[in-house]
């Protein structure tokens, strides 16, 4: 096995599983270790389980345990929970956050970074994370810069950006991707019904799509 590291940076527990569980597992099995920096605990999520099994104050504890279990299922070796608060990433100091990303990239020397695509990431925390990741990558010399795979899922993504630049066939990992999603139980109750109803989600179980953001 090669020894390339994958660095995944998202703001919420479950962002990684929905967008990239297959790619993460494939990397862990064939290329090398995976680090996941999860900025918040998703403590402001509005799903409390179906049926309800938690509440606003208990949710961060539950989601932390879910994240640890999901990371195990996805073979994420290095899970880093940075302790920002859900919904507030865009109000933090972007330069400071980008600096922390840059320091981590210099320390870990990943061959690839996965995060969101600025402008097409829908949730304000996603957008703020994407901007800080781009800023950190731009501060690194091009020859040392890891490949950046950006997740875009705004409704106008395809119209504006065209088809994805990288389409990763993860059909060999579909069952394990579902298992990773199910580990985030407070947020993915009713998952099987959602898979039935949502063509985007069905596609995500077999194809994980990424764009190269111009750096």
Partner 1 sequence: MQPIEIPVIQSYIDDHAGKPLYIHVETTNGAYATHRDPSFHNAGMFLRNAVITYERGVITGVGPYRIGLKLDHGWLYGEGLTDYEFAGEQLLIAGHDLEGRLAIAFELSPAPFAQGAQEVE
| Contact set with partner 1 (CB under 8 A) | 41, 44, 46-52, 55-58, 60-61, 64, 81-83, 85, 87, 122-125, 154-155
Q: For partner 1, give the closer residue by CB, 140 or 201.
A: 201
Q: Closest approach of Cβ 94 to partner 1, in Å?
A: 19
Question: If we measure between CA atoms, which residue out of 39, 58, 40 comes closest to residue 48?
Answer: 58
Q: Closest approach of Cβ 32 to partner 1, in Å?
A: 28
Residues 157-192 as b or e (16 or more Cβ within 10 Å = b):
beeebeebeeebebeebeebbbbbbbbbbbbbbebe
Q: For partner 1, give the closer residue by CB, 66 or 208.
A: 66
Residue 11 vs residues 21, 36, 137, 211: alpha-carbon distances, Å: 15, 10, 17, 19
Q: For partner 1, give the closer residue by CB, 80 or 139.
A: 80
Question: If we measure between CA atoms, which residue out of 150, 151, 62, 145 comes closest to residue 109?
Answer: 145
Question: If we measure between CA atoms, which residue out of 119, 131, 203 comes closest to residue 167?
Answer: 203
Q: For partner 1, give the closer residue by CB, 19 or 26.
A: 19
Edge-to-edge strands, sheet with 112-116: 78-84, 34-40, 6-10, 112-116, 147-151
Q: Closest approach of Cβ 111 to partner 1, in Å?
A: 29
- 144 and 178 Cβ atoms separated by less than 8 Å: no
Q: Closest approach of Cβ 91 to partner 1, in Å?
A: 12
Q: For partner 1, give the closer residue by CB, 68 or 75.
A: 68
């070796």: which residue's tokens?
77
Tokens of 124: 């304000």
Tokens of 136: 């950190």
Q: For partner 1, give the closer residue by CB, 50 or 135.
A: 50
Q: Closest approach of Cβ 189 to partner 1, in Å?
A: 8
Q: Closest approach of Cβ 81 to partner 1, in Å?
A: 7
């Amino acid at each position: 096995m090669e020894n390339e590291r994958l660095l995944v940076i998202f703001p919420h527990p479950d962002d990684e599983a929905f967008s990239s569980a297959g790619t993460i597992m494939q990397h862990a099995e064939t290329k090398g270790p995976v680090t996941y920096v999860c900025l918040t605990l998703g403590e402001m999520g509005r799903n409390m389980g179906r049926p309800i099994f938690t509440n606003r104050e208990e949710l961060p504890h539950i989601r932390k345990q879910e994240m640890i279990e999901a990371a195990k299922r996805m073979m994420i070796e290095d899970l880093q929970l940075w302790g920002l608060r859900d919904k507030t990433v865009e109000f933090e100091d972007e330069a400071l956050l980008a600096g922390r990303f840059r320091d981590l990239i210099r320390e870990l020397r990943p061959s690839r970074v996965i995060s969101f695509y600025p402008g097409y990431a829908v949730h304000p925390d996603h957008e703020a994370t994407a901007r800080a990741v781009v800023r950190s990558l731009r501060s690194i010399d091009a020859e040392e810069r890891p490949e950046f795979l950006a997740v875009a899922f705004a409704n106008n993504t395809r119209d504006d950006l065209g088809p994805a630049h990288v389409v990763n066939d993860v059909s060999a990992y579909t069952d394990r991707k579902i298992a990773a999603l199910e580990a985030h139980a407070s947020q993915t109750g009713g998952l099987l019904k959602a898979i039935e109803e949502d063509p985007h989600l069905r596609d995500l179980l077999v194809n994980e799509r990424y764009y190269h953001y111009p750096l």
